[in-house]
Amino acid sequence: MDHFWENELIETAAYYSVVVLCIIVFLAIFELVTKYKNWEEIKKGNMAVAMATGGKIFGIANIFRFSISQHDSLLQMIGWGLFGFILLLLGYFIFEFMTPKFKIDVEIEQDNRAVGFISMVISIGLSYVIGAGI
């Protein structure tokens, strides 16, 4: 059975499956902390929400990319990926705190593409910093 888990194809499929599941769970958590419904807004064509959500997806996947390359076991990869996600979520709250003149969620829900773009870039940028640290 040990040889089964040492097979690169099996290992890649395991990492892939776990990361896809984590992305789904983490996006559900982001959905809980934002005031808008991501997929409803995207369905309506809200580009600001699409950019912000795309940045979150890229950010989460990028954190896991670093976690996979730096850790030997699936459990370590999940643990560091979870830690990275918590830091990314913290970055979202800091972004909201650093813009007291307007509410990020409200602007994104109103399709303010400039705010959606900055949100996307922050998620992507932080994912590289977080990934480098893990």
Q: Where are the domains positioned within the chain?
A: 2-133
What's the mean pLDDT in 95-104? 90
Q: Which two tokens stand for residue 1?
A: 């059975």
Question: Residue for token digits 């996307």?
Answer: 120
CA distances, 29 to each of 4, 56, 88, 100 (Å): 33, 11, 12, 23
Q: What confidence tier does 68 reach under pLDDT thresholds 50, 70, 90?
A: very high
Its pTM stands at 0.89
**37-48 burial by CB neighbour count: b if 16+ within 10 A, else e?**
ebeebbeeebbb
Distance in angstroms (rounded) separating the CA atoms of residues 37 and 70 = 34
Summary mean pLDDT of the chain: 92
Q: Does 107 score more than 60 pLDDT? A: yes
The answer to whether 115 and 104 are in contact (CB under 8 A) is: yes
Query: At 61, phi and psi to the nearest 5?
Result: -60, -40
